[in-house]
Structure 1
Amino acid sequence: MKNRIINVQDVPILISQQELDDYICITDIAKAKTGESRSADVVKNWLRNRNTLEFLGTWEMIYNPDFKVVEFDHFKSEAGLHTFVLSVAEWINKTNAIGLYVKRGKYGGTYAHKDIAFEFASAISPVFKLYLIKEFQRLKEEEKNLEKSEWNAKRFLTKNNYLIQTDAVKKYLIPQMNYRENLQWLAYAEEADILNVALFGFTARAWREANPELAKKNNVRDFATINELTVLSNLESHNAQMIKEGKKKEERFKILQEIAEYQLNVLNTAEQIKIIEDGNQLAEI
């Protein structure tokens, strides 16, 4: 349960969250009319009113499939009589209502769903109701902004963690042989491996041999970053064009390697700038 407090015309009012919806302490609202000593009596008198019962009953029938309509009709038929007395606890127990609940001890009082609480505030004072709605809306806007800030912070941290994990994978799982300097493999290489070495620095087979457990269900491209996959797609297009032009493997590999290094550097630099900008924006919030 999440409790918050808003101040309406110097009256502190508790708000509690129950199952993803807000309930407002109408005992606190009643203090705006009579003070703390008689606030419970104000709630009881309000509940005796026939119009109040009709409003509560209609609300329950709309939102509460387990509401006991027969018991509600019984209360409604007695409402208005001088002898009629109804407590919040009795209303809840007899009708299985969910729009009101009573809390004991710390933060105690009668709480009402916000729809009902606003209706109760009307009975106290239409002016007070307007200020209550205004403060409640201000609270919801603050919570919305806070949630957005937290979401941005989580996204920022997740992105950084992803980059750290990616760097760790590259650091500890890449094969030892330098395929970019020793080009003996190139004469027998398939086109996919020419792209792999140009971008990653090693062949798919070398990666599998260095990572036998990971290779059971994955290949090297499964561990590529978004930027690397973007560059890989561009390399495939360039390579296809150079094959049509009749360029040999050695020439194509050199060109592809230069393209991969340049494009990856551009994308990674832009990404780091974006991360710094996001971090600065979060710091300003």
Structure 2
Amino acid sequence: MSKGRILKVKESAIAVITQNETDFISLTDMTSSFNESSGLIGKWITNKNTLEYLGAWEKINNSSFNYPEFGVIGQEAGVNRFIMSVGQWIQRTKAIGLVVKAGRYGGTYAHKDIAFHFAMWLSPEFQIYLINEFQRLKEDENNRLKLGWDLQRTLSKVNYHIHTDAIKENLIPLEITRQQANIVYANEADLLNVAIFGITAKEWKDTNPDKKGNIRDYATLEQLVVLSNMESINALLIRQSLTQSERLKQLNKVAITQMKSLLESKALKKLK
């Protein structure tokens, strides 16, 4: 679970957490702007229309949803003695759209679809504010990710010149045509492509004929970081007169090691 982010909706500070790469919004925090907030979630989840919505959402999104038990709940709902809590709903139906958390960011959380449904139940006006604020949060996060991607792409281009200088000084003979030199540059660029992507530029293009640009334009932030590092490392290996096959083996090991580290990096996860 990622560290909580906060939505500012009217007078309420509403926590958003990420679990299994999915955003969940705090229903508990959402009720703070309303009188008698402590019982609102319980009233909402015992509502027959709410249960029908939750059942429909789980049926679409949850392959493990206990649909027979949901049928039993549907028959019970509406009777005066019917009681349902979020915990009971999760336990009885194996639902995934609602979660109950303890600790600093404790409370009842819901997938954004369900959270928006709850917000509408609370107040149509509140729902509109919530959706707008959530969209703003996601746009900010996407902009930060794009900034990091663009920055790393720029760094990769700077290191590209270091890489090409090493190729020019060590791998290209003095008497050679421009076309022949371009072949050498392309071969070295593909050496890095194979080391990190496992595929050459031409192979990628052949398998993605509908995509514009090249393989590096579709790289992840982690791959761009590693690519930038490998251009510097390959430049050093070239100056050490290692053969291309020897360099490929070393660069591939570097790529694997660095990708593992970056994918587990808390700093990079925060940027995302």
What is the TM-score when the length of structure 2 is the normalising length?
Answer: 0.63
The structural deviation recorded for 1:164 is 2.3
Distance 2:73 2:93 in 1: 10
The structural deviation recorded for 1:83 is 1.4
| Residue matched to 2:260 | none
Alignment of 1:255-266 (within 5 A): none
The structural deviation recorded for 1:31 is 1.2
Alignment of 1:8-27 (within 5 A): 8-27=9-28
Distance 1:117 1:83 in 2: 26
Distance 2:128 2:245 in 1: 65
Alignment of 1:122-137 (within 5 A): 122-137=120-135
Distance 2:17 2:162 in 1: 40
Distance 1:211 1:150 in 2: 32
Distance 2:106 2:241 in 1: 62
What is the TM-score when the length of structure 1 is the normalising length?
Answer: 0.60
Structure of higher RCO (CA pairs closer than 8 Å, 6+ residues apart): 2
Kept after mapping to 2: 8 A contact 1:28/1:39: no
Q: CA RMSD in A?
A: 2.8
| Structure 1 unpaired stretches of 5+ | 181-192, 201-209, 219-285
For the pair shown, the structure with the greater C-alpha radius of gyration is 1
Kept after mapping to 2: 8 A contact 1:25/1:109: yes
The structural deviation recorded for 1:131 is 0.6
The structural deviation recorded for 1:19 is 2.5
- Structure 1 residue identity aligned to 2:122: I
The structural deviation recorded for 1:145 is 1.4
Alignment of 1:133-282 (within 5 A): 133-170=131-168, 173=170, 194-195=176-177, 213-214=242-243
Q: Deviations over 1:223-276 (max 9, x none)?
A: xxxxxxxxxxxxxxxxxxxxxxxxxxxxxxxxxxxxxxxxxxxxxxxxxxxxxx
The structural deviation recorded for 1:12 is 0.3
Relative to structure 1, the CA distance from residue 211 to residue 125 in structure 2 (aligned partners, 3 Å threshold; closer, same or farther) is: closer
Q: Deviations over 1:158-180 (max 9, x none)?
A: 11122223334555x469xxx86
| Residue matched to 1:110 | 108
Distance 2:240 2:50 in 1: 71
| Structure 2 unpaired stretches of 5+ | 183-238, 248-272
- Structure 2 residue identity aligned to 1:195: T
Percent of aligned pairs with the same amino acid: 44
